[in-house]
Amino acid sequence: DQQVKQNSPSLSVQEGRISILNCDYTNSMFDYFLWYKKYPAEGPTFLISISSIKDKNEDGRFTVFLNKSAKHLSLHIVPSQPGDSAVYFCAASVSGNTPLVFGKGTRLSVIA
Amino acid sequence: GAVVSQHPSRVICKSGTSVKIECRSLDFQATTMFWYRQFPKQSLMLMATSNEGSKATYEQGVEKDKFLINHASLTLSTLTVTSAHPEDSSFYICSARVPLFRPEAFFGQGTRLTVV
């Protein structure tokens, strides 16, 4: 059973517009949620995270929103740039030295 | 951020041979490292948790005799794919966390293994 789900395999957005990537989870024990960006044949690069005690975290063009009651989080990128085109993975973890659990990823294409 | 280095980035080997992949934490000590595998257009699937000085913990369905993990020091974990077969061809990635300071995990560059 998949604990972290990204139901949209792909998303296309016009340059300058907002990109919204969604993620749902089932395990209520998760207390940290993270977004990673990945290019082909490279390891994932950390983008932004949010603790379960918060509902929003912002870093430049990237904002992550967490709705604990709905077990849902989203990543907003605004304004979107062509260089943002990549696969974005949502991940979740339980505190401590435990592995991250990943969603299947969403391929974002930002069109100039 | 913390740096994790993985080597080699790409390897091609013949069926039946073994391949070793190294994962190093360059600027921090990692008592635990994680090994993932990614199939084309799929998610990152956890294979095993590598623990310094003790046996690795393997996920269900991962053959421990085929994927040998050694975590001999606080900065190095190795994954050896033994008697490789074409179905072992995949993208392997290691990661480590610095749990006392940061919630995120840092990833190596990944290794593209092709078994011919």
Q: What is the pLDDT of residues A44-102, one digit of tens each?
A: 999 999 999 999 999 999 999 999 999 999 999 999 999 999 999 999 998 777 889 99
User: Cβ contact (<8 Å) for B109 and A100?
Assistant: no
Helices (H), B37-101: none
CA distance A79 to A61: 7
Shortest CB distance from B103 goes to which of A32, A36, A42? A32
Low-confidence ranges of chain B (pLDDT < 50): none
CA distance A6 to A103: 6
CA distance B75 to B25: 5
State the sign of the Cα–Cα–Cα–Cα dihedral A36, A37, A39, A43: negative
At residue B72, the pLDDT reads 84
CA distances from A50 to A18, B56, B100 (A): 20, 29, 16
Would you call B6 exposed, middle or buried from its count of C-beta atoms within 10 A (0-12, 13-18, 19+)? buried
Residue from B107, B112, B114 whose CB has the most chain A CBs within 10 Å, to mutate:
B107
Which phi-psi region, left, alpha or beta, contains residue B81 (left: φ > 0; alpha: ψ -120 to 50)? beta
> Chain A: residue nearest B2 by CA?
A46
User: Is A42 an 8 Å CB contact of chain B?
Assistant: yes
CA distance B16 to B6: 23
The answer to whether the CB of A34 falls within 8 A of the CB of A49 is: yes
The answer to whether the CB of B18 falls within 8 A of the CB of B81 is: yes
Q: Tokens representing A54?
A: 């918060």
User: Is B12 an 8 Å CB contact of chain A?
Assistant: no
Residue from A8, A30, A46 whose CB has the most chain B CBs within 10 Å, to mutate:
A46
Q: Is B98 helix (H, G, I), strand (E, B) or coil?
A: coil
CA distance B67 to B70: 10
Looking at the predicted structure, is the pLDDT value of residue A28 above 70?
yes
Q: Tokens representing A108?
A: 């974002």
At residue B99, the pLDDT reads 61
Shortest CB distance from A46 goes to which of B1, B31, B93? B1
Would you call B21 exposed, middle or buried from its count of C-beta atoms within 10 A (0-12, 13-18, 19+)? buried
Which residue type does A67 have?
N
At residue B54, the pLDDT reads 86
